[in-house]
Amino acid sequence: MLHVDADGFFASVEQSLNPSLRGKPVVTGAERGIIAAASYEAKALNIGRGMQLHEAKALCPRLVILPSDYESYSIYSNRIFNILRRFTPSIEEYSIDEAFAEIATGRDVCFETPEMLAAELRKTVRQELGLTVSVGISLTKTLTKICSKFRKPDNQTVLRAEHIPLMLKITPIEKVWGIGNASAKKLLQYGISSALDFTQMNESAVKKLLHKPGHETWHELQGHQRFRLNENPFRTYDSMMKGHTFSPPSNNPDFIFAEAVNNMERALAKLRRHRHLTREIGLSLRLKEYHHQSAALRTSLPTDNNRELIALLRQLFTALFIHGQTYRSTTVWLANLEPPHLRQPDLFEARPQSAEQTQLHQTIDKLNKRFGSNSVQSAALLNLREKPTHSRDAKPKRYDKLLKGETKVRHLNIPRMTL
Ligand SMILES: [Mg+2]
């Protein structure tokens, strides 16, 4: 098994797109006021994810602060995964910058040793994308996660069966993939502080204390495969949430409601893409002073219909909004979701949501996918134009130079690369 994890991913992509940023402390997240990712140069100055930008700026006045450019990040992410596919067809895209893979090494395949494969993979990514990844290779997914972190950044670790106990001895239990905070706390009470202590526990005690997932991790740490590669993850969601912080803050109810509608539509587009239905919609309004107020309503039947939900959203907004107050963000969530395989057939077709409605939504989603989000939108969203401008509104730099065929809303998926 192999695990690959990009180093300081978002910030590294920015440095790859703009080489003058190489070697400099760079962070992303300008649009939120909070750091989303930090380059290793910034991390060396104790600047990291989740920190307020003004605090970071105080620590390092020459810090380069950029708005997030998720489109570029996802293009780079795909490129990393495509490079990995040249080495093996069996890969699991685990997150935007991490993947697991099954690999074969030996006399009769391309690479004789796993070390050679890892080195070639890292070299290819560095040469083609201008960023570095860390690679871990071992017998199970859980062990590869420990290995890829072991010598981060820009390094590789291959862990063979005979050296597993040595590695487990220096791995704190709370750093093990799959051992959550609650489990780690429980284990610490029994004097289990390293991954090695954990594997030396009696099997029935592990089952009793941590149940099935913990028991599987116990096996995985000893090199017995329990977690298989999940090549086509069939995702089900419990909830979906979309939020947006606007700057400067606003007290205009039409604008703030339009922001909420925009979040609702983005959440609904995702809901329909994954073929779920929702039974609850919630709204949270955050005031300028960081207090927030929220409320939720249940739907009469599971739905993915804009018209039904916008009426509920309006009720929530009317109940929460206070005139004269200044707001800085809205968040909309959909909860109590019904995944597609649990969908009940609609026995009497008595609901207002007919086949026509479904077709309408599918068409709108298709148009927005093709021509850019919000190409077709609710009239309420016209009020988003009321938005005052602010220095934080800077778009990622590459949006200044549009290619032939690109518009401000539609970007061809062609990254501008520097090799
Ligand atoms: Mg990473």
49-86 confidence digits (pLDDT tens): 989 999 999 999 999 999 988 878 888 998 999 999 99
What is the 8-class DSSP label of residue 244? Answer: E
Cα 238 to ligand 1 centroid, rounded to whole Å: 25
- Among this protein's residues, is 98 annotated catalytic? yes
Tell me, what amino acid is at 33? G
pLDDT of 96 reads 87
The domains of the chain, with CATH numbers, are 7-69 (3.40.1170.60), 73-221 (3.30.70.270), 239-345+369-388 (3.30.1490.100)
Task: Return the higher-pLDDT residue of 135 and 403.
Answer: 135
CA of 100 to the centre of ligand 1 (A): 13
- Of 375 and 235, the one with more pLDDT: 375
96-117: average pLDDT: 91
Ligand 1 centroid vs 152 CA: distance in angstroms?
Answer: 9
Give the mean pLDDT of 270-287: 90
**Residue 208 Cα, ligand 1 centroid: separation in angstroms?**
33
How far apart are the CA of 235 and the centre of ligand 1, in A?
22
pTM score: 0.62
Phi-psi region of 359 (alpha: psi -120 to 50; beta: other; left: phi over 0): alpha
Which bin fits 223, alpha (ψ -120 to 50), beta or left (φ > 0)? left
Tell me the CA–centroid distance for residue 324 and ligand 1, in Å: 43
Catalytic residue, chosen from 41, 98, 220, 308, is 98
Please give the distance, rounded to the nearest whole angstrom, from the Cα atom of residue 118 to the centre of ligand 1.
16
Closest of 16, 19, 10, 2 to residue 126, by C-alpha = 16
The model's pLDDT over 195-222, given as tens digits with 9 standing for 90+, comes to 999 999 999 999 999 988 899 999 999 9
290 torsion bin: left (phi>0), alpha (psi -120 to 50), beta (else): left
CA distance 414 to 97: 19
Helix or strand holding residue 22 (H, E): none
Check: CB of residue 117 under 8 Å from CB of residue 144.
no
Question: pLDDT tens, 245-257?
Answer: 888 899 999 999 9
C-alpha 269 chain-centroid distance: 17
Rounded CA-CA distance 27/68 in Å is 9
Angle at 358 between CA 356 and CA 364, to 5 degrees: 100
Can you list the positions of beta strands (E) in 102-198? 133-137, 156-158
pLDDT for residue 12: 95
